[in-house]
Chains A and B, each alone.
Chain A
Amino acid sequence: MASLPTPATDYLPAVARGDLAAFESLYDRYSPTVYALLLRILGNADDAQEVLQETFVKAWSNARMFDVVRGSEAAWLISIARSRGIDKLRARRVRSDRENDAGREISHRSAFVDHATGAEDAIRSQEQRAVRGALAELPEAQRIALELAYFEGLSQSEIAARLGEPLGTIKTRMQLGMKKLRERLKAYH
């Protein structure tokens, strides 16, 4: 199991003080991860870029709300992006025919990356390399349940319906999967 490097310097405290240079560093460090996440959630480069922009603008204006005790600045940013991405995804589902989304395959993550503009500019940090494969260590059934919840914003019931499994089974899979991720995270710290 790979070990995580020493956590990088947090930029958010400086960003909270209005330090534009720190904000640039924050953007350069995390935008590839956030953008990849939004591409994964939205499956559309234009939407992903729009939400990426919203995410960092919100980070700029709300940086003072970041609490280092509660988590890393990467987690804080990712949480903002994921929340906004899921909101946009749900709004889009309401507006358009759900069939486009329903037919999407969970395992096609790389396809979204290929659609992305500037995909060749992907940046790999030490930390990202260290956590790479976290999901791969999970049993597939657990991983799929987690991905459907995290990347598609589906509820337990929706996942159960999608996979044709009992609700209790899905709930247990998700809880077990999250416990393993938590243990893996603890192992790095």
Chain B
Amino acid sequence: MAHDDFEAMAALDALGAASADEEKALREHLSSCLSCRRARDEFAEAATLMAKDLEPVAPPADVRDRVFADVTPAEEEEHDRGFFSRWGLATAATLFLALWGWREIGIRATREHVQSQQADIERLGDQNRVLELQREKLSAAVASLASANTQTISLTGAKMSPSAAAKVFMDSDKHRAVVVFANLPSCPNDKSYQLWILRGDQPKPQSAGVFDVAKGNATITIENLPVMTEIKGLALTMEPRGGVDQPTNANYYVVGKT
């Protein structure tokens, strides 16, 4: 069919007089033909001339009232929109307050974080100082081990721990000894190891240091070693946690003579 045929259909369609087949064919054609769509719109507009040709008649006033009463729900919808606008404002205000509160919480959290970081810095500073002391001690111990005057003494496991052993690196010039223990049993939570110096000039042992063992090995440094007196030997006992003035038992872990 040519465009003229579809225009003829459009003319009938504008009057509502096109047949079902004509309507279908026209609809399909209009979907892809701009000029015929324009013709259809112009015919539709032209058809309204028939209505405009009539003598206008003002409807009764009550019809107007009914029409506007019918659109009142739409006005209520406007009210609804107003309500929702108010609701929206309330929501926005709540959201603002929530965000403001969140910001305050964020600032507080940041402050706390900064304080926490400052505490960490102080703690790390303390650890650093401890490590520095340990480094100094380790340096001293290494110096003692490397000294030409260092005397080495081996201690052997006793009845409580036959497999245990220890080496004593004694630097008489520095009045210092470094004792390295191996294969010692771990300490119970309420116990500590305590090393004793058996002096020739005193009847009672002298504590040389208290330490804990977690994995069998430990190293302690004995300062102010009484080198001017006879040291008959060294002995290790397990004592109440923190150490005691005198041994509470004779259950030695390692013993040895110097």
Contact across chains for A156 and B12 when beta carbons are under 8 A apart = yes
State in angstroms the CA–CA spacing of A123 and B8 once bound together: 34
* A36 vs chain B, min Cβ distance (A): 4
* Secondary structure class of chain A's binding surface, majority of residues: helix
A35 adjacent to B57 (CB under 8 Å): yes
Kindly list 8 other residue pairs between chains A and B, CB separation below 8 angstroms, not including A116-B57, A178-B46: A24-B68, A33-B52, A33-B54, A37-B51, A71-B45, A122-B57, A175-B12, A182-B11
Chosen A-B contacts, 11 in total, with CB atoms closer than 8 Å, are A33-B52, A49-B60, A71-B44, A72-B45, A72-B48, A78-B52, A135-B49, A147-B50, A182-B42, A185-B42, A185-B49
Interface string of A92-115 (1 = CB under 8 A from B): 000000000000000001100100
- Which size bracket describes the interface of A in this complex? 35 or more
Within A134-150, which residues are at the interface with B (CB < 8 Å)?
134-136, 146-147, 149-150
Q: Which residue of B lies closest to A134 (CB)?
A: B49
Query: Which of B14-22, B215-223, B247-255 sits within the interface?
Result: B14-22
B11 to chain A, nearest CB (A): 4
- Give the complex CA separation of A27 and B70 in angstroms: 13
Interface residues of A in 1-53 (CB under 8 A from B): 18, 20, 23-24, 27, 31-37, 39-40, 48-49, 52-53
Closest Cβ–Cβ distance, residue A28 to chain B (whole Å): 8
Tell me whether B53 and A133 are in contact (CB under 8 A). Answer: yes
How many Å from the CB of A76 to the closest CB on chain B? 9
Which positions in B face A, CB cutoff 8 Å?
8, 11-12, 14-17, 19, 39, 41-61, 63-64, 66-68, 70-71, 74-75, 78
Q: Which residues of A, 120-162, contact B by the 8 Å Cβ criterion?
A: 120-125, 127-128, 131-136, 146-147, 149-151, 153-156, 159
Task: Give the shortest distance, in Å, between A146 (CB) and chain B (any CB).
Answer: 6
Whether B17 pairs with A74 at a CB distance below 8 angstroms is no
The reply to whether A78 and B48 contact each other, CB–CB distance below 8 Å, is: yes
Would B51 and A33 count as touching, CB distance under 8 A?
Answer: yes
Contact yes or no, B19 A132, CB < 8 A: no
B17 touches A23 (CB 8 A): no
Q: In the bound complex, what is the Cα–Cα distance between A136 and B53 (angstroms)? A: 9
Give Cα A70–Cα B14 distance, bound, in whole angstroms.
Answer: 13
Residue from B12, B42, B64 in contact with A27 in the complex, judged by beta carbons closer than 8 Å: B64
Interface contact B49-A181, CB-CB below 8 Å: yes
Q: Do the beta carbons of A156 and B17 come within 8 Å of each other?
A: yes
Partner of B11, one of A31, A119, A122, A179: A179
- Pairwise interchain contact B15-A149, C-beta atoms closer than 8 A: yes
Question: In this assembly, does A88 line the interface, its C-beta being within 8 Å of a C-beta of chain B?
Answer: no
| Given A134-B49, A134-B52, A75-B74 contact (CB < 8 Å) | no
Contacts of A178 in B (CB 8 A): 11-12, 14-15, 43, 46-47
> How far is the CB of A117 from the nearest CB of chain B, in Å?
5
- On whether the beta carbons of A61 and B17 are closer than 8 Å, the reply is no
**Chain A residues, Cβ within 8 Å of B41:** 70-71
A122 close to B58 (CB less than 8 A): yes
Bound Cα distance from A70 to B41, whole angstroms: 6
